[in-house]
Amino acid sequence: MKAVILDAASLGPDVDLGPLRDRVSELVVHQQSTSHQARERLADADVAIVNKVVLDAETLDALPRLQAICVLATGTNNIDMAAARRLGIAVKNVTGYGTASVAQHTLLLLLALANRLPRYQRDVAEGRWGESPFFCLMDHRTLQLEGKHLAVVGQGELGGRVARLAEAFGMRVTFTARPGNEAHDSRPALADLAGEVDAISLHCPLNEATHHLVGEALLARLRPDTLLVNCARGGIIDEAAALSALRGGRLGGLAVDVLPEEPPRDGHPLIDALGEPLNLIVTPHNAWITPEARQTIVAMTADNLGELQTARGDAADGR
């Protein structure tokens, strides 16, 4: 079984691909590929291993030998799933590989916002500490997390881990109803909790129900000190509305690890606003990148390759 990796660079240079090589007769590694290059590079491949390269219907139709696609991520939005099903191409992804890494990053952002770290770092860099009439600065009101209320949107493995970490700081955690299914969910809707929570952490997929879930209407219901963290997907927050609320003192802090377009080659208003004195943090979609998490992706993909080999053998035996 020949496998071709189209974008190995997305895993970083320090990841051991040995577990993948052990599962196939031949592994061809490309650091980066365009969708146009993918067709040529996969021409004689049995398995495509891909992270973010788009494999559309036209590309898949041109690859009669391709039997499977292993996605080095949870999301499969870069694969034309309907075309894959039509062509009998199996698609396998990986889940849960970055739970510890993303949860750690989420708490990092929450703690930094609570302590107004962006504001105080700016003050120190601008020399204001040295100008203080006494030993410290206390111009920006911080938030002690103990006893505060956190709303978590998404009660999966990641949301559950974030909840446990927040509880270790003494926070009270409430999981919200699944967006779009509030009428049939016993958990409270985010909109109903908005006026009483001190922080919101998003860990849900981006879909029709969650697009701009945190928009002008919800932001208007939040208390002005509320902290908002998005380590899920760009677009779940209406970033323009959130930035306006932050600038207007109607939001206590905003931290995002994701944007609607990545990488943001044309910039983004939140990135531009980092030059302003705001309690704002933007990280470059790197909540998941601990070496442990990236190596786990390889291990889980190797398991997926093993399952494909087993299925192939069973088919050959007529089972």
Q: Which of 21, 172, 285, 312 is catalytic?
A: 285
Helices 99-114 and 291-316, packing angle to 10 deg: 150
Burial 224-233, CB ≥16 within 10 A → b, else e: ebbbbbbbbb
Q: Is 116 one of the catalytic residues? A: no
Look-up of token digits 């380590």: 231
Q: Which of 40, 126, 157, 262 is catalytic?
A: 262
**How many other C-beta atoms can be found within 10 angstroms of the C-beta atom of residue 18?**
11
Task: Return the closest-CA partner of residue 23 out of 302, 295, 298, 297.
Answer: 302
Q: Is 85 one of the catalytic residues? A: no
Q: Is 285 one of the catalytic residues? A: yes
- CA distances to 1, 10, 19, 137, 290 from 22, rounded to whole Å, are 11, 21, 5, 57, 23
Q: Which of 161, 233, 268, 294 is catalytic?
A: 233
Longest pairwise C-alpha distance within the chain: 83
- Known catalytic residues? 233, 262, 285
